[in-house]
Amino acid sequence: MHECCTPIRAAVIGASGYSGEELVRLLLHHPHADLVAVTSRSSAGQTVAQVFPRFGSHPEARSLQFVEPDVHALASRADVVFLALPHGVAAEFAVPLHAAGVTVIDLSADFRLRDPAVYQEFYAHPHPAPALLSKAVYGLPELYRDQIRTASLIASPGCYPTSILIPTLPLLRAEIIRPAGIIADSLSGVSGAGRKAEADYLFCECNESVRAYGIPKHRHLSEIEQELSLAAGERVTLQFTPHLIPVNRGILTTLYLAPTRHFSTAAEAAVLGDEIAACYRAAYEHEPFVRRLEGKALPDTKNVVGTNVVEFAWRLDPRTGRLLVVSAEDNIVKGASGQAVQSMNIRFGFPETAGLE
Amino acid sequence: MHECCTPIRAAVIGASGYSGEELVRLLLHHPHADLVAVTSRSSAGQTVAQVFPRFGSHPEARSLQFVEPDVHALASRADVVFLALPHGVAAEFAVPLHAAGVTVIDLSADFRLRDPAVYQEFYAHPHPAPALLSKAVYGLPELYRDQIRTASLIASPGCYPTSILIPTLPLLRAEIIRPAGIIADSLSGVSGAGRKAEADYLFCECNESVRAYGIPKHRHLSEIEQELSLAAGERVTLQFTPHLIPVNRGILTTLYLAPTRHFSTAAEAAVLGDEIAACYRAAYEHEPFVRRLEGKALPDTKNVVGTNVVEFAWRLDPRTGRLLVVSAEDNIVKGASGQAVQSMNIRFGFPETAGLE
Amino acid sequence: MHECCTPIRAAVIGASGYSGEELVRLLLHHPHADLVAVTSRSSAGQTVAQVFPRFGSHPEARSLQFVEPDVHALASRADVVFLALPHGVAAEFAVPLHAAGVTVIDLSADFRLRDPAVYQEFYAHPHPAPALLSKAVYGLPELYRDQIRTASLIASPGCYPTSILIPTLPLLRAEIIRPAGIIADSLSGVSGAGRKAEADYLFCECNESVRAYGIPKHRHLSEIEQELSLAAGERVTLQFTPHLIPVNRGILTTLYLAPTRHFSTAAEAAVLGDEIAACYRAAYEHEPFVRRLEGKALPDTKNVVGTNVVEFAWRLDPRTGRLLVVSAEDNIVKGASGQAVQSMNIRFGFPETAGLE
Amino acid sequence: MHECCTPIRAAVIGASGYSGEELVRLLLHHPHADLVAVTSRSSAGQTVAQVFPRFGSHPEARSLQFVEPDVHALASRADVVFLALPHGVAAEFAVPLHAAGVTVIDLSADFRLRDPAVYQEFYAHPHPAPALLSKAVYGLPELYRDQIRTASLIASPGCYPTSILIPTLPLLRAEIIRPAGIIADSLSGVSGAGRKAEADYLFCECNESVRAYGIPKHRHLSEIEQELSLAAGERVTLQFTPHLIPVNRGILTTLYLAPTRHFSTAAEAAVLGDEIAACYRAAYEHEPFVRRLEGKALPDTKNVVGTNVVEFAWRLDPRTGRLLVVSAEDNIVKGASGQAVQSMNIRFGFPETAGLE
């Protein structure tokens, strides 16, 4: 389909943040999509190249201007609209765009939760568009690829959730690990905080600094627990500790998991290890963006930054009976904009890796 | 005592690494110690100021020369000798210096373990001086202050162990937390790897990178488990995951602990919280180098770097029933050289904070 | 004097920025000064320890509260007041404090220029208190030590000027270099921009980034040219290019200078080199905070960060006939707060290095 | 040509360093080249994916193995061979490969200088293959595109030279600036030092550090002066000061130039400015990898990292009569491997931007 057809028309609303900038980068180079509109209240009137000087040699970036967001204009000009907006605001755009028949890919948290009560618990205000929740598909392609193919509203997952769900879901479904007691300890680059002019994210406040934040009840918990619970077939409560570390890009997550099968000898660990390896192979052998590390290799954010890949490695610890899994991803690519483009590719019948290699 | 008396004479063996450099800095400015000798095979013949240009304005640093290590000469010239050497090598110096009556403060792992079999298990060679193990005191002042006062051989703790033991030991002793299932997830600056010319620690390999390493059985586990077990009165097995992050200095440790008392409501958490606060207050209220954070504050390595302080904060999570504690320290100061000087102060009757403020 | 007498009382107005924080740190540990007041509109009501968690173990920091700035209260309570305020604002406080007889040490640019017309040219508004200009002493101790001893208003130099003037002034005065054609190429850490919540100084905008800014007419030019001109006895115009580099602290300045004496052979360079060395030795041999590097050593900001030292090295290039000088300092210490405390020490008869070692 | 034909076969000798890794990345994704061999003595036997985990999801990287360098085998298997080797060593491979008819693109300094005496002066040993010098083309496409089309040996320029020559050559040729007195002050990321396990380039030695090095006579001077002299039609001597700054990638160069035409008023500057703008436009309007910044924009390495673009901006300073030009590039891409691939594209008739967008 993708070689014969005219490209689809894509727009990005709220394109001046880090996720928006990455969407612009991916769409400017996408073989099957044309970036037809970018909006930003603060940048309206400027070209993409002026707002993002790194795209200054790209002809389209030099001509395409940021505009004020106008739902009617966008609805008539775009086949797909990406929302790179704060939660709460995204829904205001999603509702009319969806009604106008545009495919909406929302990078905010607004449509990730199935239950509006959970949204209210974690986001501290009523859900802005509960009627639309049933239309939304959680845009994790490795889990919901079939649903994404026909979705009209795709709720692209958060950065932390992706790094946690990919290594955990297959093990939960296969009942290799227990649903209780899961711990996710995550380290995120500063771009995860967005391009917000807040003193906490100044260079001198982040450089030569490491800190935990948002504990013990970070907002992303809600969507992670939702998907873990669906995989486990029972309610899962997660311990999740995010930390801020001085890198621009990347999330490293260390997962502490309890295998259902007891092991304390090397022989028992080997048997369980084979089971885990087989489970992961079955789940991810053909996934283009999931990389299972082998041998002594351990994940390193520098090996995934700039790519749509999430990589992970695991170790069984016979001393404690636990399974450790460490995963790494680029929080703005597989954790945000790359994954959203991956969903677009699936939704419009393009090769899933188009524009993401 | 310290105002009337002549200063003690201190020497540092293996002074050209990061811990050695920090010892030199602390001793050059110490009000009650004179730095009389520094040794380093690679730097012999150069002055301290030549090897460490940052001390170039200090008169003693401009005159004191590095020498080859000579046990006999040191034994006659120094009252206290610090060993900033690799494990295995440190013992070779500790034995004759101890026999010569010099107080030895060893920053290596050689005398931290009471049981030589555990040493062999974790360090993969027989203990080099098992007869001396019974003389050694584990140099964590907050735990072994009385023993340090009269010790002839002080085994100064590792950087990770300090960040883990300080927040854990009082809770274990008071039976507020269970000995089983403790997890310590630690993030360390690159100076923890030492001043070794290895490609893994080059700027470009560490900058914009985060990675776990040494899992699941890091060497520091042995001394941590020894001290946790002593505090708990039963054998404790720890899950410990060290990570390397792109900062020069600092360790941040996140601890996942299981309170013995069940809690799931805010009221139950408040009762337990009072108990924890009282336990920590009793343990550390008068400790000059332990900082309990209050209110919403969370540890940040930038607030302890360059100081001998370890700071921590804790949160009860009624959703999971767990207690989270986060601690921060400078891995080279409280995690190594500052703590060693603190032990020296105790051993020689100086104010414990002398030269460490 | 300083051992027998009661300490002086010091206050800091505008203490919540990076220079203010450093002043607080230096004054909390100063042997002859008591920090009696700190002001900040945004932090009023909080303790110093709450605003600056790194001082959380200092008893005074835990008790001293930030207050709203009140000139009358400060005038009666403090012997010396440091102004760590934006230019223009500083003068509003300096005038009444000076009138009340308090010694004022101003870290802003307000009283550095002798000529109010130059101030207006570079700062784009009329000088706020021209009558006070004649009372002000430019607080570079290596140049104006005698005047500082009796000054009532000390205009502490900027960070770039210190790094440029220290290596240049003795050569200009000795007519070893020509006044024309001087180039200063400076690299500054991000703390130089202050603790301002602006997007340009976010971690992700500065990390993995290097850029020039403010060219070709940076505001600091005015005070540098004033002092160069006074030293040369003629009007000096400087080429000055500041750059922002991803470090917290430090300025490195590379100076391109034209010796008056021609040299193109090694022998000629040796003769001139002796002259330069003698000139620098005469100027700085007894200066506690100026470090002349010898041999092959070149300045490195990491060797001066956290200290009040400015270090420099020089090279003659027979190929081009130029003299290169490279200097390094901590922009917040010798470039701001440390230098201000050095002036306080001189003004109040304390040892010049008190509290700065 | 490039759409119908079979791809060319490319090999990289010495592929385990940073330039080698970048060549591998570019060639793995190049539409008209197949990477058929990579050599490295230290990595022989390992796959590309094992040595460079970031390529772990690329099928060819998982199958292609590093081998020992074997000139005969390479000569028969490759159409083009890239040499990413130290100077001196590169020539040893260039001679037999060139004799065997393979196109050689050398990233070392071995064939950049026309005069073997200059080589000996700057590299301190006789040129290893002077007979081949006359065959070599200096691989700066913007300057020698026509010669590159038919070259059998391309000497790809160094990173500093590219950042200096691109903004300078057109002005010299047009006699807008004087050949005398040019100063280039450059700031380089640490990858410029290569993947060498030396203590100077450890993370803790480079982070929070800035330093000049190699002054006043850096080796790269020789090739820069050669090309400047050719453009000026007279011998040019350059003042060049390289600095090491804590970023992985990127060079920022600030150039101090003297216009031949005097200007001291805004009107005179405007006339000269038009002339400069016209000169640059004529030189670079159609160059795909040269970006002239407009308006208030100034170069920033973060806007070119990962790309083959060199960007620059200029300012006239009527106060000093100088022209300042600031340029930025990725030292490993336009400064090394990207430029080498650009030359390959030209040499083999591919679109010049193939594989570089």
The pLDDT of residue D17: 95
Catalytic status, residue C159: yes
d(CA C225, CA C222): 5
Q: Which residue has the higher pLDDT, A278 or B15?
A: A278
What integer is the mean pLDDT of C172-195?
97
Identify the band that residue A275 occupies on the pLDDT scale cut at 50, 70 and 90.
very high
For chain B, list the contacting chains (3+ Cβ pairs, <8 Å): A, C, D
CB < 8 Å to C53, chain B: 293, 297, 300, 303
Give the domain A8-157+336-347 fold: Rossmann fold (3.40.50)
Chain A contact probe: residue of D54, D60, D305, D332 with most A CBs at under 10 A: D54
DSSP class of C334: I
Would an 8 Å CB–CB cutoff place A311 in contact with chain D? Answer: yes
Q: Which residue has the higher pLDDT, D268 or A3?
A: D268
- Cβ atoms of B138 and B105 within 8 Å: the answer is no
Of D185, D252, D326, Cβ closest to residue C254: D185
> Coil, strand, or helix at residue C229?
helix
Task: List pLDDT tens digits, range D232-251.
Answer: 999 999 999 999 999 999 99
Q: Do A293 and D54 touch (CB under 8 A)?
A: no
Chain C contact probe: residue of D121, D185, D210 with most C CBs at under 10 A: D210
Q: Which of B254, B342, B256, B356 is nearest to B301 (CA)?
A: B254
Q: Which amino acid is at D261?
A: R
d(CA A84, CA A108): 7
Q: Do A248 and C190 touch (CB under 8 A)?
A: no
Task: List pLDDT tens digits, range B227-240.
Answer: 999 999 999 999 99
Identify the band that residue C1 occupies on the pLDDT scale cut at 50, 70 and 90.
very low
Task: List pLDDT tens digits, range D301-352.
Answer: 999 999 999 999 999 999 999 999 999 999 999 999 999 999 999 999 999 9
Q: Do C315 and D183 touch (CB under 8 A)?
A: no
The pLDDT of residue B217: 86
Of D217, D239, D315, Cβ closest to residue C256: D239
- Structural tokens at position B214: 């040494």
CB < 8 Å to C208, chain B: 208
Mean pLDDT, chain A, as a whole number?
96
CB < 8 Å to D196, chain B: 202
CB < 8 Å to C197, chain A: 197-199, 202
d(CA C116, CA C133): 8
Our CA-based measurement puts residue D61 at a distance from the nearest CA of chain C, in whole angstroms, of: 28
Q: Which of C182, C178, C180, C175 is nearest to C275 (CA)?
A: C175
Mean pLDDT, chain D, as a whole number?
96
The pLDDT of residue B113: 97
Question: D 154-193 residues with CB below 8 A of C?
Answer: 181, 183, 185, 187
C78 phi/psi in degrees, rounded to 5: -120, 145
Q: Report the length, in residues, of chain D.
A: 357
Task: List pLDDT tens digits, range C206-243.
Answer: 999 999 999 988 899 999 999 999 999 999 999 999 99
Identify the band that residue A5 occupies on the pLDDT scale cut at 50, 70 and 90.
low
- pLDDT at residue D286 tops 60: yes
CB < 8 Å to C317, chain D: 215-217, 239
Domain at D160-330: CATH code: 3.30.360.10
d(CA D329, CA D343): 17
CB neighbourhood size of B95 (10 A): 18
Task: List pLDDT tens digits, range A142-158.
Answer: 999 999 999 999 999 99
- Structural tokens at position D213: 């090095």
Chain C contact probe: residue of B57, B190, B252, B301 with most C CBs at under 10 A: B57
- Cβ atoms of D316 and D270 within 8 Å: the answer is no
Q: Which amino acid is at D192?
A: G
Of A53, A300, A304, Cβ closest to residue D300: A53
HEC per residue, chain B = CCCCCCCEEEEEECCCCHHHHHHHHHHHCCCCEEEEEEECCCCCCCEHHHHCHHHCCCHHHHHCEEECCCHHHHHHHCCEEEECCCCCHHHHHHHHHHHCCCEEEECCCCCCCCCHHHHHHHHCCCCCCHHHHHHEEECCHHHHHHHHHCCCEEECCCHHHHHHHHHHHHHHHCCCECCCCCEEEEEECHHHHCCCCCHHHEHHHHCCCCEECCCCCCCCHHHHHHHHHHHHCCCCCCEEEEEECCCCCCEEEEEEECECCCCCCHHHHHHHHHHHHHHHHHHHCCCCCEEECCCCCCCEHHHCCCCCCEEEEEEEECCCCEEEEEEEECCCHHHHHHHHHHHHHHHCCCCCCCCCC
d(CA A166, CA C9): 61
Would an 8 Å CB–CB cutoff place A271 in contact with chain D? Answer: no
The catalytic residue among D4, D159, D204, D279 is D159
- pLDDT at residue D4 tops 80: no
Sequence-distant (≥ 6) Cβ neighbours of residue B134 within 8 angstroms: none
DSSP class of C234: S
Task: List pLDDT tens digits, range C299-327.
Answer: 999 999 999 999 999 999 999 999 999 99
d(CA D55, CA D35): 14
- pLDDT at residue C180 tops 50: yes
- pLDDT at residue C138 tops 70: yes
Q: Do C299 and D212 touch (CB under 8 A)?
A: yes
Would an 8 Å CB–CB cutoff place D304 in contact with chain A? Answer: yes
Say which CATH superfamily domain C160-331 falls into: Dihydrodipicolinate Reductase; domain 2 (3.30.360.10)
Q: Which residues pair with A304 in a beta bridge?
A: none
CB neighbourhood size of B268 (10 A): 16
Task: List pLDDT tens digits, range B127-182.
Answer: 999 999 999 999 999 999 999 999 999 999 999 999 999 999 999 999 999 999 99
- pLDDT at residue A213 tops 80: yes
Q: Do D57 and A309 touch (CB under 8 A)?
A: yes
Task: List pLDDT tens digits, range B296-306.
Answer: 999 999 999 99
- pLDDT at residue A3 tops 60: no
Q: Which residues pair with C212 in a beta bridge?
A: C243
What integer is the mean pLDDT of B314-323?
97
Would an 8 Å CB–CB cutoff place B285 in contact with chain C? Answer: no
d(CA A170, CA B116): 43
The pLDDT of residue A2: 45
The pLDDT of residue C237: 97
Q: Do A248 and C204 touch (CB under 8 A)?
A: yes
Task: List pLDDT tens digits, range B78-95.
Answer: 999 999 999 999 999 999
d(CA B85, CA B95): 14
The pLDDT of residue D1: 42
Q: Let me know the angle formed at the C-alpha of A96 by A93 and A97, rounded to the nearest 5 degrees.
A: 75
The pLDDT of residue C300: 98
The pLDDT of residue D5: 66
Q: Do D211 and C249 touch (CB under 8 A)?
A: no
Kindly identify which residue of chain D lies nearest to residue B208, measuring between CA atoms: D248
Task: List pLDDT tens digits, range D44-99.
Answer: 999 999 999 999 999 999 999 999 999 999 999 999 999 999 999 999 999 999 99
Identify the band that residue B357 occupies on the pLDDT scale cut at 50, 70 and 90.
confident
The catalytic residue among C4, C159, C204, C279 is C159
Q: Domain ranges for chain A, please list them.
A: 8-157+336-347, 160-331
The pLDDT of residue D6: 87
Q: Do C256 and D183 touch (CB under 8 A)?
A: yes
Our CA-based measurement puts residue B187 at a distance from the nearest CA of chain A, in whole angstroms, of: 8
HEC per residue, chain A = CCCCCCCEEEEEECCCCHHHHHHHHHHHCCCCEEEEEEECCCCCCCEHHHHCHHHCCCHHHHHCEEECCCHHHHHHHCCEEEECCCCCHHHHHHHHHHHCCCEEEECCCCCCCCCHHHHHHHHCCCCCCHHHHHHEEECCHHHHHHHHHCCCEEECCCHHHHHHHHHHHHHHHCCCECCCCCEEEEEECHHHHCCCCCHHHEHHHHCCCCEECCCCCCCCHHHHHHHHHHHHCCCCCCEEEEEECCCCCCEEEEEEECECCCCCCHHHHHHHHHHHHHHHHHHHCCCCCEEECCCCCCCEHHHCCCCCCEEEEEEEECCCCEEEEEEEECCCHHHHHHHHHHHHHHHCCCCCCCCCC
Of C215, C256, C326, Cβ closest to residue D212: C326
Q: Which of A43, A35, A42 is nearest to A60 (CA)?
A: A35
The pLDDT of residue C2: 45
d(CA D229, CA D223): 10
Of A190, A199, A204, Cβ closest to residue C204: A190
Mean pLDDT, chain C, as a whole number?
96
The pLDDT of residue C217: 85
The catalytic residue among B4, B159, B206, B279 is B159
d(CA B247, CA A243): 14
Chain D contact probe: residue of A18, A51, A57 with most D CBs at under 10 A: A57
Q: Which of D30, D357, D27 is nearest to A25 (CA)?
A: D357
**Between the CA atoms of C96, C100, C105 and C108, what dihedral angle is there, to the nearest 10 degrees?**
0
Residue found by looking up tokens 């501290």 in the block: A124
CB < 8 Å to A316, chain B: 216
Q: Do B209 and A315 touch (CB under 8 A)?
A: no
Radius of gyration for chain B, computed over Cα atoms and rounded to the nearest angstrom:
20
The pLDDT of residue A28: 97
Of C190, C199, C208, Cβ closest to residue A204: C190
- Cβ atoms of D69 and D92 within 8 Å: the answer is no
CB < 8 Å to D207, chain C: 247
Domain at D8-156+336-347: CATH code: 3.40.50.720
- pLDDT at residue B4 tops 60: no
What integer is the mean pLDDT of A178-184?
98
The pLDDT of residue D217: 86
The pLDDT of residue C6: 86
Would an 8 Å CB–CB cutoff place A46 in contact with chain C? Answer: no
Q: Maximum distance among all alpha carbons in chain C?
A: 66
CB < 8 Å to D201, chain B: 202-204
